[in-house]
Amino acid sequence: MTEEAARTALLRFLNSKCCYGSKAAGELVIQELKQLTVYRYRLETFHESRLSEWAFEPFPPAGRPRGAAPLPGPPRLPAPPPFRERTRRLRLPHAALVKECHGCHGHGRSKCSVCHGAGWTRCVTCKGSRRSLKQQKRCQLCSGTGRKRCNTCSGRGSKTCAMCQGEKKLQHFKQLVITWRNNVFEFVSAHQLDLPGELLSRVNGENVFRDENVQVYPVADFPEPEICLASQRAVAEHSAAFAASSRILQQRQTIELIPVTEVRYRHAGKPYACYVYGLEEEVHAADYPARCCRCGCCCACALL
């Protein structure tokens, strides 16, 4: 990181913040550029879990006549690409029964929730008084009745049951729910930085280590001892959390070197510091000297 690159990154950061003035950036004097070593360790565990649950649909199902043959057994589904989450539901054969719809009690229609079965609602213009509130004449919208036909049920007082779609019966069946999830453990060795750790999670770094297998083993003999300890903890936590309740399909662990430069500068005789981090050269300048509160969001901007 050169002085010119640091000043360019700072100006780009200031232009994106409404409360940070860019005039001070041209007046500040950069005194020191300190390169820092920050590693980010990630463990991703891609696993599959299965469970069965009851579901229901109108009987007969839409598009299938009464007496149709049951669906065949669920096919063997290939897993999605590694580390991409997905959920599939498959109907199980020979596990269905037909019952009266519990939503309408077998009537095929349910009471309208707007008019509560009356078929009409109070006129919104005269509020049910039958006369116009401003001119004290007969309300023209409701013709002096004080009410109007319910638009939801078209004046019937009931509507087709949403559960059985008017079929009066429901077919209950079991379905298999297959879920593929990718759980991520992340650790950043930035304990000596005055820089929020969540900011380092948003940027990219240079990959220095990558290990992918059905089951990975903890990293050993890495120059940063904290990374080795984090890897041991991550592998143990994921094994305890997912090995018993699901099937681990793939694991991937990576170590990235995140470039971080501490920029120390002076402005108007006072010392300040900011950080330029990530391959994107993002900037964190919590104590930037030229800030205002015209829009009331200075504190929020400093955390971004």
Q: What is the pLDDT along the chain (304 residues), one digit of tens a residue?
A: 788 888 888 888 877 776 666 666 666 788 889 998 899 999 999 999 999 999 999 998 765 555 444 555 555 677 889 999 999 998 888 888 999 999 999 999 999 989 988 888 888 878 877 777 666 778 877 888 888 888 889 889 999 999 999 999 999 999 999 999 999 999 998 767 788 888 888 899 999 999 999 999 999 999 999 999 999 999 999 999 998 889 999 999 999 999 999 988 888 888 888 899 999 999 988 877 766 554 444 444 444 4
> What ranges do the domains of the chain cover?
3-45+181-302
Q: What is the pLDDT of residue 144?
A: 80
Distance CA 101, CA 289 (A): 69
167: its two tokens: 């079929």
Distance CA 213, CA 208 (A): 17
Place of tokens 């349910």: 110
Q: Which of 190, 194, 186 is nearest to 302 (CA)?
A: 194
Long-range contacts of 237-242 (CB under 8 A, 24+ apart): 237/185, 238/43, 238/45, 238/183, 238/185, 241/183, 242/45, 242/47, 242/183
Residue 123 backbone phi and psi in degrees, to 5: -65, 130
Q: What is the pLDDT of residue 6?
A: 87
Burial 170-207 (b: 16+ CB within 10 A, else e): bbebbbbebebbbeebebbbbeebebeeebbeebebee
- Amino acid at the residue 274: C
Q: What is the pLDDT of residue 301?
A: 43
Instruction: Kindly state the DSSP code that residue 138 receives in the 8-state scheme.
Output: B
Q: What is the pLDDT of residue 302?
A: 42
Q: What is the pLDDT of residue 151?
A: 87
Q: Which of 7, 27, 4, 78 is nearest to 48 (CA)?
A: 78
Residue 152 backbone phi and psi in degrees, to 5: -70, -45
Distance CA 39, CA 205 (A): 9
Place of tokens 């059905």: 214
Angle at 256 between CA 201 and CA 276, to 5 degrees: 60
| Number of C-beta neighbours around residue 116 at 10 A | 11
Q: What is the pLDDT of residue 143?
A: 81
Q: Which of 120, 198, 103 is nearest to 156 (CA)?
A: 120
